[in-house]
Structures are given as C-alpha cells and as structure tokens.
Amino acid sequence: MSGTLATRTALRHTRHFLRRQHRQASTTAETAAKAKDTASSTVSKASEGLTRVTSSAGPAISNAASSARNALSRVGGRTGRLISFVESLIPPTIYYGRVGLELAKLTFQGQKMSPPSIAQFQQYFQPVVNNLRSPKQLMSSIGSFDPTAYLTPFGT
C-alpha cells in the first residue's frame, strides 16, 4: 500500500509539474502578446502626442506671425505702402521659387546631371564673397569698367 501511495504521489506531482509548465508556456506567449500590445499602444500614444504638439505649435506660430503682420499693417504713409508692397510680393516669390526648384530638379534628372561639388561652388563664389567683404575694391573695379569695350563687335 505504501508503494501505491508513493506512486500516486509521484504521479500527482508529475501532473502538477506538467500543468505548471504548460501554464508557464502559455503565460510566456501571453506576456509576449501583452508586450507587443503595450509597445504598439506606446507608439500610437507617442505619435498622438507629437501630432498634438505640432498642432498646438502651429497656431502659436501663426498667432505670432499675424500679430507681427497686424503691427506692421498699422504703419501708415510711405513706410506702410512699402510694407504692404513687400508683403504682396511674398506669395508669388515663394510660388515661383518652388516652381523653379521643381523645374531644376526635372532638368537635372532628365539630363542626368549632378550638382557642383562644394569645392567648385566655393571656387566660383569666393571672389563674390571677397568683393562683398571689401566694397572699396568692388567700387574701384566698377569705376574702371568700360562698357564700350564690350559693345564693339568682334573683329573690328
């Protein structure tokens, strides 16, 4: 009788051990699923927060711009007309700037061109920057400019 009791006890412990192992395996899968859900909810909450911050920053920036625009619109006389004229030029300038950029992109892609390297860009614009830094040289070179030399036809 004591042998059967020991066998029953061992069998019961084995069943209990197997049940616990099965529960742990299912718990691991459940934990992984919960972690995945938590990660996805965290990502969605973060994106919602970013959207909320972006949407709240947009009105603040536009409010500041509109208050500056209102302050400038109150200026009268010649200065007010100049400010309104400059403000009227901003939208078409932005539009044509974007159109020009897209056109340049299409041209570069169509002709399989590449933009100039930084060294080429610096080499080309360095004299311009130097002339702007020392306007006396620029004025002296303009003063010695002879337009008739460029207007005479070639070969004469």
HSE-CB for 54 with a 13 A CA cutoff: 6
Mean pLDDT, to the nearest integer, of 103-122?
89
The set of residues, in sequence order, having a beta carbon less than 8 Å from that of 138 and lying 6+ positions away, is 131, 132
- Sorting pLDDT into bands at 50, 70 and 90, what band is 129? confident
Distance CA 109, CA 66 (A): 39
Say what the pLDDT of residue 13 is: 65
Distance CA 18, CA 141 (A): 96
Mean pLDDT, to the nearest integer, of 124-136?
84
Distance CA 23, CA 29 (A): 10
- 30-47 per-position pLDDT tens digit: 776 776 676 566 656 666
- 1-13 per-position pLDDT tens digit: 555 656 666 666 6
Say what the pLDDT of residue 78 is: 85
Q: Where are the domains of the chain?
A: 75-113
